[in-house]
Amino acid sequence: MALISLKEILSDAKQKKYGVFATNAFSFEMAEVIVEAAEEKNSPVILMMAEDLFKFLNPERTASAIISMIKDAKVPVVFHLDHGNNFDVAMKCIRWGLSSIMFDGSNLPLKENIKIVKELKRISIPSNISVEAEVGYVGGLEAREKTEGQEGIDTNDYTKVEDAVRFVNETDVDALAVIDTNDYTKVEDAVRFVNETGVDALAVAVGTIHGVFRFKPNLDFDRIKEIKDAVETPLVLHGSSGLSDEDFKKAISCGITKINYFTGLVTEAGKKAKEIACGKNDFTYMMLNKSVMEAVKEKIKKKMDLFGSTGKA
């Protein structure tokens, strides 16, 4: 059985100094290629379902299908809830059989965040389920939801393929930064959080952003190191799609062990779909789906090589 906890996978990664690739499945096909990529690279992987993406699938049924697939996988796979926004959704995911949950209390006062994570940790220990939490605040799509008081994501806010291609090509240009360094994870908060909750993985805000970067990323590597030296808990980097290969390598060498990478895959999928749909008149949906998923798989495999997890299963 290949379904394992986040704690187990990250303690190996921390010890051997590699990064574990983590991404969200928005369909069963997407879940399949995540596992296939890991098998082809003999790499561990973290397959996630984000609460914000539940509207694209029936989460309970899809979770059940994904769990059967993972049980047959040849490599260790963590099945993780990404950005659970409240206690109830975390509890549901535990019931559905996920092996790990993230509670995102980054918009709450630290004390409140600690209280909820501590309770989730207490509940999840008997079933060996891991808990990830976020201290500090990684901005992005949720920033707009919060400031504009929207319920859920507005699909008009989704990354447009042409914007993504342009921004990825132009990451050298300076533009207005939307990252506030005051939101970065403070070392003393990380220490307090870990001590009081016993959390299994800690997402840190060090200069990344969810979605597409609109400026050249400038990670605070010293802060990653300081937090790593201050806490034993493995560290997680969210919102990493705009980073360069060098950024990834350096972040891993400074102490990051789990890397959430999603927008880059969606962009790749959109680019491929557009290329096929515009280039041929005789394509079928099956052909399009297969080519898109193959492109996504190749991108995941390249990241596994880059993060050093290839061959570590």
Gyration radius (Cα) of the chain, Å: 18
Residue nearer to Zn ion on the CB measure, 238 or 312:
238
Question: Is 82 among the residues known to form the active site?
Answer: yes
Min CB(107)–Zn ion separation in Å: 13
* Cα separation, 5 vs 100, whole angstroms: 6
Residue nearer to Zn ion on the CB measure, 69 or 120:
120
Q: Which of 82, 104, 200, 220 is catalytic?
A: 82
Residue nearer to Zn ion on the CB measure, 2 or 259:
259
Residue nearer to Zn ion on the CB measure, 73 or 141:
141
- Nearest residue to Zn ion on Cβ basis: 238
Scan residues 170-229 and list those touching Zn ion (CB under 5 A).
none
Min CB(253)–Zn ion separation in Å: 22
* Cα separation, 58 vs 35, whole angstroms: 20
Total number of residues that touch Zn ion (CB under 5 A): 1
Contact 6/259 with Cβ under 8 angstroms? no
Spell out, one character per residue from 9 to 48, where the chain touches Zn ion: x when CB under 5 A holds, - when not: ----------------------------------------
Min CB(185)–Zn ion separation in Å: 14
- Which three-class secondary structure string do you get for 64-123? HHHHHHHHHCCCCEEEEEEEECCHHHHHHHHHHCCCEEEECCCCCCHHHHHHHHHHHHHH
Min CB(287)–Zn ion separation in Å: 32
User: How far from 267 is each of 160, 233, 262, 264, CA to CA, in Å?
Assistant: 8, 31, 9, 5
Q: How far apart are the first and last CA of the chain?
A: 13
**Residue 151: count of CB within 10 angstroms of its CB:** 6
Scan residues 77-136 and list those touching Zn ion (CB under 5 A).
none
Residue 17's nearest CA partner among 252, 259, 219, 250 is 252
* Cα separation, 167 vs 169, whole angstroms: 5
* Cα separation, 240 vs 20, whole angstroms: 13
Scan residues 234-253 and list those touching Zn ion (CB under 5 A).
238
Contact 207/185 with Cβ under 8 angstroms? no
Contact 188/119 with Cβ under 8 angstroms? no
Q: Which stretch binds Zn ion (CB under 5 A): 36-44, 145-153, 231-239, 273-281?
A: 231-239
Min CB(203)–Zn ion separation in Å: 7
Residue nearer to Zn ion on the CB measure, 238 or 297:
238
* Cα separation, 257 vs 18, whole angstroms: 6
> Alpha-carbon dihedral of residues 162, 236, 69, 304, nearest 10 degrees?
70
Min CB(120)–Zn ion separation in Å: 17
Min CB(260)–Zn ion separation in Å: 5
Q: Which residues bind Zn ion (CB under 5 A)?
A: 238
Q: Which residues are catalytic?
A: 82
